[in-house]
C-alpha cells in the first residue's frame, strides 16, 4: 500500500527541484543581464584582446626570417670584433733550438700547435738531429 505513495512523493520532490533550479537559472540570467556598463566594456575589450593576440602571433612567423638574419648579422659582427681585437702576447716558452735545415719543406711549415698536438710524433721530434745526420750521410 505504501508503494504508490513513493512515486508521488518522488514526483513532488522532482517538481520542487525543477522549480528551484528554474528560479536559480532565472536569477543568474538576470544577474548577467544587469551587468554594469564598465564591466561589459571590459569584457568586450578582453574579447578583442584575445583575437588581437592571436593575429599578432599569426603574423610573427613572417618576421622569423628577419629575426634570423638579424641574429646572424649580430653573430658575424661579434666574431669579426673578436678577431680584430689585438691578442695579448703569448707567454714565451723556452723550446729546444731545433734546426730544420734539410727537412722537407712541408715539415718546416708545421705550426707550433701542430707540434704540440701531434703527441704520437714526439719521439720523432726528439730524434730530429739523428734523422738530420742520417739524411746528410745519405747524400
Partner 1 sequence: MTSATLPIMQPARGDAQARLGYDGEHAAGRRETKALRQQLGLENFLAGVERKAYRMARIATGNQEEALDIVQDAMLKLVEKYADKPESELGPLFFRILQSRIHDWYRRSAVRNRFRSWLGTADDDDEEDALQLVPDPAGKAPEELLALSGSMEALEEALRRLPLRQQQVFLLRAWEGLDVRQTAHAMGCAEGSVKTHYSRALTTLRAKLGDHYL
Residues that bind partner 1 (CB under 8 A): 16-17, 19-21, 23-25, 27-28, 30-32, 35, 39-40, 42-44, 46-47, 49-51, 53-54, 57
Least spacing, CB of residue 16 vs partner 1, in Å: 7
Residues 6+ apart with CB under 8 A from 129: 98, 99
Based on CB atoms, which residue is closest to partner 1, 16 or 129? 16
- Residue 135's closest CA among 104, 106, 96, 110? 104
Least spacing, CB of residue 44 vs partner 1, in Å: 8
Least spacing, CB of residue 45 vs partner 1, in Å: 9
Residues 6+ apart with CB under 8 A from 68: none
Based on CB atoms, which residue is closest to partner 1, 61 or 104? 61
Amino acid at each position: 500500500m505504501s508503494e504508490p505513495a513513493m512515486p508521488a512523493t518522488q514526483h513532488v520532490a522532482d517538481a520542487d527541484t525543477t522549480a528551484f533550479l528554474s528560479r536559480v537559472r532565472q536569477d543568474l540570467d538576470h544577474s548577467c543581464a544587469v551587468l554594469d556598463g564598465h564591466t561589459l566594456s571590459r569584457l568586450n575589450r578582453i574579447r578583442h584582446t584575445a583575437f588581437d593576440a592571436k593575429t599578432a602571433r599569426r603574423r610573427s612567423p613572417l618576421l622569423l626570417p628577419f629575426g634570423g638574419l638579424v641574429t646572424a648579422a649580430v653573430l658575424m659582427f661579434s666574431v669579426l670584433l673578436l678577431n680584430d681585437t689585438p691578442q695579448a702576447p703569448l707567454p714565451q716558452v723556452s723550446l729546444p733550438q731545433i734546426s730544420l735545415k734539410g727537412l722537407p719543406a712541408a715539415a718546416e711549415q708545421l705550426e707550433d700547435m701542430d707540434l704540440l698536438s701531434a703527441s704520437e710524433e714526439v719521439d720523432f721530434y726528439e730524434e730530429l738531429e739523428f734523422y738530420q745526420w742520417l739524411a746528410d750521410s745519405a747524400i
